[in-house]
C-alpha cells in the first residue's frame, strides 16, 4: 500500500465508485457456506418493489442494515445479508399496463401469456434500478445470492407452501365479502383499502309493510344496494320497533318480501335505528346474514354495473343507478328525506377508485391457528421486538386476526396451483399441472386464473431465499436470521406473516430480533409527499454531499421511537464532520511514515495515555449501542470522540512533540499512539462511513488489506470499566477544564488568540498544585500563555479576570493586555446597537397586523431572533460589568 499523502480535500465521488467496485470484486460481501468456525449473523433485506425508486425510507432502512452487517463482520462473524426484490403484483402490473396504454393497448387485447412476457421484459430492462441505487448507498449485500420473489426457486417454495397448507386444511376456497376494486379488477386486503372522509348524503327510505298500512323508515348512504336487500334488522332492545318483529316488509322497487330480524349489532342511534341488510355488498351485513341464514343477492357486478338481480336497473353503472333509484323512490312517494352526511369511504390504495364491497369466490388462509403460534413466540421471547412498544400493537393485531384473502384477480404473480376438472368440477391442488382428474379421469383441467397476494410470497422470504424447500447449507447456517430491520408500516403486511409462515414451515421463528425504525420526515416533522413538495431525493443528496455524510446523518438521527427529521442542512453539517476526519488523517499522515505495531508504555505522555483510554471507552460504547440498536447513540459517541477529543484536544496537544527532531523516545511513543488511535478510529467509523474510512485506511502505513477485513478494536483484556487509565482521564479533565476556563476569559474579554497571556493558578490543595505544575507545558501550549505560576494563596491579584475550576482559581492578568477604557467603550457601543435592533423586533412582535397575517413559522422566526438578541445583550452586559469591576 502506498504512503502517499491524502489529497487536500475529500472528493467522495471518485472514491465511492472505486472502493465499491473493489469490495464487490474481492468478494468482501460474500457469506461463507462453511460453518463452525465463525458465529453466523444474518439479515434478509426487506425486498424493495422491483418498480421501486430509492426513497428516504429505503435509505434509512438499508443504511441501518449495512451498519449492522459491516459491524458484525468487523467483530469476526460470518455475515449473510440476503438481498432481492419483490415482484409487487399490482404495482408492477399497473406500470406495464400504463406502458401498454401509451401504445393504445390494454392487457386483454394482448392476452395473458404475452402480457406476462411483457412484464418480464420490463423487469429485465428496468428491474435492477433500485439495486444499483442501493449500491450507491454502500449496501454490502451478498449480491451473488440476489433473489426475486418470482424466480424459479421462490416460485417452487410458494407452490410447496400453498399445497401443504391446503392439505392441512389451512387454505380453503369460499364465498366471502371482499373489498373489490372495479378498476384493478381485484380483491384488496383490508389493509390495502384507504379511507377518506367524503361529503355524501343520507337517504331516508320508506319500507312498506307487506300486510296492511304503514312503513318503517331506513337510512342509507348507498341507496342502490337496497335492490339486494334480504332483510330489515332492528336491535332487540329497541322499544320503538317491538311491533315490527312479527311483520314482513315489501322491498320497494323490487316488490320482494323480506323478513324483519333482531340483531344486537344494530346501532340504535344511527339513522332511524332500523337497518337494511345487504349481505352481498356490505361486510357487516355479510356477518349478520351468516348469523341469520339470509340469502345473498348480488346486484353489482365486478365492473361496478348492476346485474340482472337489479331488475329494471340492470346494466346501469353503480352511481348512475344510485340516481335512478332515488328518482324512482321519489316517484313512488317512498323517499322521506335526504340529509347531507359526512362519512368515510374506502378507496383502492393503487388507483384510488371507490371500493365496492362485493361477494366473490376467493382463496383464504385460516389465520387463527398460525397466529396463535406467532403470538406465543413473542410472548416467550423467541423473537424480541425493539422498541418494545410495538409488541403491544403486534399482539393486538394477531389476537384479532381474520382469515387472510390471498387470491388476486390480476395476471402478474404466482398463479394459484389449483385446477378444476371441466367434467366433474373437482378441484385438484398440486405442485404441478395434473394430466388427468383424479376423481373422474377427465383430461380437461383448467388452472385457476387468480394469482396470489404479493405478501404471500414475501411471507416466505426468510427461508425461501435460502433455498427452502431444499435443506441447503446456508439455511442450516443462517436460519433463524439475527434481526429484521423494518419500518412499522409493514409490521402487519409482512412481519406478522413471516412470523406465521416461518414458525409453521421451519419450526422456528424467522428472526431473533425485529428492529422497528421510525419514518424519515422533513425538517419540520411533516411527512414527505409529492403534493406537499417537501420530498428530498436521497440520490441527489448523495450527489451533493457524498454517501458517507448522508449515512452518518441518518444514523445520527435514528433515535428509537422518534422520527428522523431530515434536511439538506443537516447533511451539510455532517459533511463538515467527514472533512474534519479527512483533514485530521491528512495531518497525521504527514508525520506517520511507518506502521507502529507496539506502544512503548514507559514513554507515554499524559495526553497519549488519555487518548488511548478515551479510544477504549468509545469502542466500548459504540459496540454496546449497536448491540442494542441505538444507532444515534453510537454515532454521537463517535462524533464527540473524533471531533472534540481526537481533533480538538489530542492533535493540538501533541503538535509540539510532532515538531521535535526525529527519533526521540517521546516522539516515537506519540507517533505509535497516533498510529494506533487513527487505525482503530477508522475501524470504529467504518460501519457508518465506509468509503472515506477505506480511502484513508489505504494510505495508512501497515495496512495491507481492505478495512473490511480488520478487527473491531474491543480489547480482549476488558476489565469491564469504560476507561483503562482512570488516572490519565482525571488529570486530563482538570487540565482541559483549566484551559477551557482561560479560553472563555479570552472570549469574554475580546482578547486576540495570538496574544500570549500571563496566568496564575491558586489552590490550597497540594495535589492539585503538584498536578498543574507537572503538566504546565500542556496548559501553556494550548492556552497560549507566556507564563504560568502555581501558588498556595488566597490573595486576589489586581486587574485579573478569574475562573474557578474544582478547587483552583485561575487568574488571567489583563494589565497591558486590554485597554480598559477602550474595551468599555466598545462594549457600550455594541450593547447600544443591539438595543436598537431589539426595539425594532419588539415593535414588530407587538404589531397586531403582522401577528394576524404572518404565517406561524415566520412569527416563530422573529421570536427566535428576539431571544438571540436578548441573550447576546445579556452576555455583553455581563462582560462589561466584569471589566468595570476589574477597572483601574
Ligand atoms: Zn384499483
Ligand atoms: Zn373430473
Question: In angstroms, rounded to a whole number, what is the distance separating the alpha carbons of residues 785 and 757?
Answer: 5
Number of the ligand closest to the Cα of 351: 1
C-alpha 641 – ligand 2 centre gap (Å): 75
SS3 382: coil
User: What are the angstrom distances between the C-alpha of 589 and each of 19, 212, 693, 698, 704?
Assistant: 20, 103, 14, 11, 16
The contacts of residue 393 (CB under 8 Å, 6+ apart) are 488, 491
Number of the ligand closest to the Cα of 350: 1
Number of the ligand closest to the Cα of 421: 2
Cβ burial 848-887 (10 Å sphere, 16+ → b, else e)? eeeeeeeeeeeeeebeebbeebeeebeebeebbebbeebe
C-alpha 446 – ligand 2 centre gap (Å): 11
Q: At which residue does the C-alpha cell 469490495 appear?
A: 23
C-alpha 447 – ligand 2 centre gap (Å): 13
C-alpha 358 – ligand 2 centre gap (Å): 30
Cell output for 234: 332492528
C-alpha 720 – ligand 1 centre gap (Å): 59
C-alpha 444 – ligand 2 centre gap (Å): 8
C-alpha 410 – ligand 1 centre gap (Å): 11
C-alpha 407 – ligand 1 centre gap (Å): 15
DSSP 408-456: ESSSSS-B--EEEETTT--EEE-SS--SS-TTT----EEE---EE-HHH
Number of the ligand closest to the Cα of 437: 2
Number of the ligand closest to the Cα of 347: 1
C-alpha 493 – ligand 1 centre gap (Å): 18
C-alpha 187 – ligand 1 centre gap (Å): 9
C-alpha 173 – ligand 2 centre gap (Å): 18
The contacts of residue 392 (CB under 8 Å, 6+ apart) are none
Number of the ligand closest to the Cα of 183: 1
User: What are the angstrom distances between the C-alpha of 375 and each of 372, 396, 497, 510, 517?
Assistant: 5, 10, 11, 13, 21
C-alpha 434 – ligand 2 centre gap (Å): 11
Number of the ligand closest to the Cα of 426: 2
pLDDT along the chain (888 residues), means of 10: 67 94 96 84 95 90 98 96 92 88 86 91 89 95 96 96 97 90 82 87 95 93 96 94 91 94 91 94 91 92 94 95 96 94 89 90 93 96 95 92 88 94 92 91 92 95 96 95 93 93 97 93 85 88 96 93 87 95 95 88 90 93 96 97 96 92 86 95 98 96 93 70 81 95 88 90 92 94 94 83 86 85 86 92 90 86 90 87 74
pLDDT at 665: 86
C-alpha 440 – ligand 2 centre gap (Å): 4
pTM score: 0.82
C-alpha 415 – ligand 2 centre gap (Å): 21
C-alpha 422 – ligand 2 centre gap (Å): 7
Q: At which residue does the C-alpha cell 494510505 appear?
A: 699
Cell output for 390: 410495538
C-alpha 354 – ligand 1 centre gap (Å): 8
Main-chain phi, psi angles of 744, to 5 degrees: -60, -40
C-alpha 431 – ligand 2 centre gap (Å): 18
**Largest CA-CA distance found in the chain, in angstroms, rounded:** 117
C-alpha 392 – ligand 2 centre gap (Å): 49
Report the sign of the C-alpha dihedral through residues 722, 727, 728, 734, in that order. Answer: positive
C-alpha 192 – ligand 1 centre gap (Å): 10
The contacts of residue 404 (CB under 8 Å, 6+ apart) are 189, 364, 365, 367, 453, 497
Question: In angstroms, rounded to a whole number, what is the distance separating the alpha carbons of residues 316 and 502?
Answer: 47
pLDDT at 718: 56
C-alpha 184 – ligand 1 centre gap (Å): 4
Strands 171-181 and 186-188: antiparallel
C-alpha 424 – ligand 2 centre gap (Å): 4
Number of the ligand closest to the Cα of 438: 2
C-alpha 655 – ligand 1 centre gap (Å): 68
pLDDT at 3: 44
pLDDT at 359: 86
C-alpha 370 – ligand 1 centre gap (Å): 29
Number of the ligand closest to the Cα of 349: 1
C-alpha 96 – ligand 1 centre gap (Å): 15
pLDDT at 4: 58
Tell me how crowded residue 314 is: count the other CB atoms within 10 A of its CB: 15
C-alpha 193 – ligand 1 centre gap (Å): 10
Strand order through the sheet with 511-517? 384-386, 511-517, 481-487
Tell me how crowded residue 827 is: count the other CB atoms within 10 A of its CB: 20
Number of the ligand closest to the Cα of 354: 1
pLDDT at 1: 38
Number of the ligand closest to the Cα of 410: 1
C-alpha 426 – ligand 2 centre gap (Å): 5
C-alpha 94 – ligand 1 centre gap (Å): 9
Contact between residue 876 and residue 750 where contact means Cβ atoms under 8 Å apart: no
pLDDT at 98: 87
C-alpha 301 – ligand 2 centre gap (Å): 29
Amino acid at each position: 500500500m502506498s504512503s502517499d499523502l491524502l489529497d487536500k480535500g475529500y472528493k467522495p465521488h471518485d472514491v465511492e465508485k472505486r472502493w465499491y467496485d473493489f469490495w464487490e470484486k474481492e468478494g468482501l460481501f460474500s457469506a461463507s457456506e462453511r460453518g463452525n468456525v465463525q458465529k453466523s449473523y444474518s439479515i434478509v433485506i426487506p425486498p424493495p418493489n422491483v418498480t421501486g425508486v430509492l426513497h428516504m425510507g429505503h435509505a434509512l432502512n438499508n443504511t441501518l442494515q449495512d451498519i449492522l452487517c459491516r459491524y458484525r463482520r468487523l467483530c469476526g462473524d460470518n455475515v449473510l445479508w440476503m438481498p432481492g426484490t419483490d415482484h409487487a403484483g399490482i404495482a408492477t402490473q399497473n406500470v406495464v399496463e400504463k406502458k401498454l396504454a401509451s401504445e393504445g393497448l390494454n392487457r386483454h387485447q394482448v392476452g395473458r401469456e404475452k402480457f406476462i412476457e411483457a412484464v418480464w421484459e420490463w423487469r429485465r430492462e428496468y428491474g435492477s434500478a433500485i439495486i444499483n441505487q442501493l449500491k450507491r448507498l454502500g449496501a454490502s449485500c451478498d449480491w451473488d445470492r440476489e433473489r426475486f420473489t418470482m424466480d424459479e426457486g421462490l416460485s417452487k417454495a410458494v407452490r410447496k407452501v400453498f399445497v401443504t397448507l391446503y392439505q392441512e386444511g389451512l387454505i380453503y376456497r369460499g364465498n366471502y365479502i371482499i373489498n373489490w376494486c372495479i378498476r384493478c379488477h381485484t380483491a384488496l386486503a383490508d389493509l390495502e383499502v384507504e379511507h377518506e372522509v367524503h361529503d355524501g348524503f343520507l337517504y331516508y327510505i320508506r319500507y312498506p309493510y307487506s300486510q296492511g298500512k304503514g312503513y318503517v323508515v331506513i337510512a342509507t348512504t348507498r341507496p342502490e344496494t337496497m335492490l339486494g336487500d334480504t332483510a330489515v334488522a332492528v336491535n332487540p332492545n329497541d322499544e320503538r320497533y317491538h311491533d315490527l318483529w312479527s311483520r314482513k316488509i315489501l322491498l320497494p322497487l323490487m316488490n320482494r318480501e323480506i323478513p324483519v330480524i333482531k340483531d344486537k349489532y344494530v346501532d340504535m342511534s344511527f339513522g332511524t335505528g332500523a337497518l337494511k341488510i345487504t349481505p352481498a355488498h356490505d361486510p357487516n351485513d355479510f356477518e349478520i346474514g351468516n348469523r341469520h341464514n339470509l340469502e345473498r343477492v348480488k346486484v353489482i357486478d365486478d365492473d361496478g354495473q348492476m346485474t340482472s338481480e337489479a331488475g329494471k336497473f340492470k346494466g346501469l353503472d353503480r352511481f348512475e343507478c344510485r340516481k335512478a333509484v332515488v328518482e324512482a323512490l321519489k316517484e313512488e312517494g317512498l323517499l322521506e328525506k335526504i340529509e347531507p352526511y359526512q362519512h368515510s369511504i374506502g378507496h383502492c390504495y393503487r388507483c384510488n377508485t371507490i371500493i365496492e364491497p362485493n361477494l366473490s369466490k376467493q382463496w383464504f388462509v385460516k389465520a387463527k391457528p398460525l397466529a396463535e403460534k406467532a403470538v406465543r413466540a413473542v410472548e416467550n421471547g423467541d423473537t424480541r421486538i425493539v422498541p418494545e412498544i410495538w409488541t403491544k400493537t403486534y399482539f393486538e393485531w394477531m389476537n384479532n386476526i381474520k382469515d387472510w384473502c390471498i387470491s388476486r384477480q390480476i395476471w402478474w404473480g404466482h398463479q394459484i396451483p389449483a385446477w378444476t376438472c371441466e367434467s366433474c368440477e373437482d378441484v385438484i391442488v398440486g405442485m404441478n399441472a395434473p394430466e388427468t382428474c383424479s376423481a373422474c379421469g377427465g383430461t380437461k383441467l383448467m388452472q385457476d386464473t387468480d394469482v396470489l397476494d404479493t405478501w404471500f410470497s414475501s411471507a416466505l422470504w426468510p427461508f425461501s431465499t435460502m433455498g427452502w424447500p431444499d435443506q441447503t447449507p446456508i439455511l442450516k447456517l443462517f436460519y433463524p436470521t439475527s434481526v429484521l430491520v423494518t419500518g412499522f408500516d409493514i409490521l402487519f403486511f409482512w412481519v406478522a406473516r413471516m412470523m406465521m409462515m416461518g414458525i409453521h414451515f421451519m419450526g422456528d421463528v424467522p428472526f431473533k430480533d425485529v428492529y422497528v425504525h421510525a419514518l424519515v420526515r422533513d425538517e419540520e416533522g411533516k411527512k414527505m409527499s409529492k403534493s406537499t413538495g417537501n420530498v428530498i431525493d436521497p440520490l441527489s443528496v448523495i450527489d451533493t454531499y457524498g454517501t458517507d455524510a448522508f449515512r452518518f446523518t441518518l444514523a445520527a438521527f435514528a433515535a428509537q421511537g422518534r422520527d428522523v427529521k431530515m434536511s439538506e442542512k443537516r447533511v451539510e453539517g455532517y459533511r463538515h464532520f467527514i472533512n474534519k476526519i479527512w483533514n485530521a488523517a491528512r495531518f497525521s499522515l504527514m508525520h506517520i511514515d511507518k506502521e507502529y505495531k507496539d506502544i512503548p508504555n514507559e514513554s507515554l505522555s499524559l495526553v497519549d495515555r488519555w487518548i488511548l483510554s478515551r479510544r477504549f471507552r468509545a469502542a466500548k460504547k459504540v459496540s454496546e449501542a449497536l448491540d442494542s440498536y441505538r444507532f444515534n447513540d453510537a454515532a454521537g459517541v463517535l462524533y464527540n470522540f473524533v471531533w472534540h477529543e481526537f481533533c480538538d484536544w489530542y492533535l493540538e496537544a501533541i503538535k509540539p512533540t510532532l515538531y521535535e527532531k526525529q527519533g526521540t523516545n517521546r516522539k516515537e511513543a506519540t507517533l505509535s499512539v497516533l498510529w494506533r488511535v487513527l487505525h482503530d478510529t477508522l475501524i470504529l467509523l467504518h460501519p457508518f462511513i465506509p468509503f472515506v474510512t477505506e480511502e484513508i485506511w489505504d494510505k495508512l502505513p501497515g495496512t495491507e488489506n481492505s478495512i473490511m477485513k480488520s478487527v473491531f478494536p474491543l480489547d480482549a483484556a476488558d476489565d469491564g470499566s469504560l476507561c483503562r487509565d482512570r488516572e490519565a482521564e482525571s488529570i486530563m479533565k482538570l487540565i482541559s477544564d483549566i484551559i477551557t476556563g482561560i479560553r472563555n476569559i479570552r472570549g469574554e474579554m475580546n482578547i486576540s488568540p495570538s496574544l500570549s497571556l500571563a496566568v496564575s493558578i491558586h489552590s490550597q490543595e497540594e495535589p492539585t498544585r503538584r498536578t498543574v505544575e507537572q503538566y504546565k507545558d500542556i496548559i501553556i501550549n494550548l492556552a497560549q500563555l507566556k507564563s504560568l505560576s502555581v501558588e498556595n494563596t488566597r490573595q486576589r491579584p489586581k486587574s485579573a479576570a478569574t475562573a474557578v475550576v474544582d478547587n483552583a482559581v485561575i487568574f488571567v492578568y489583563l494589565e497591558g493586555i486590554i485597554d480598559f477604557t477602550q474595551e468599555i467603550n466598545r462594549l457600550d457601543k455594541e450593547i447600544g446597537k443591539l438595543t436598537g435592533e431589539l426595539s425594532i423586533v419588539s415593535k414588530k412582535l407587538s404589531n397586531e397586523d403582522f401577528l394576524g397575517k404572518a404565517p406561524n413559522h415566520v412569527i416563530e422566526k422573529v421570536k427566535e431572533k428576539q431571544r438571540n438578541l436578548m441573550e447576546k445583550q445579556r452576555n455583553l452586559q455581563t462582560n462589561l460589568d466584569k471589566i468595570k469591576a476589574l477597572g483601574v
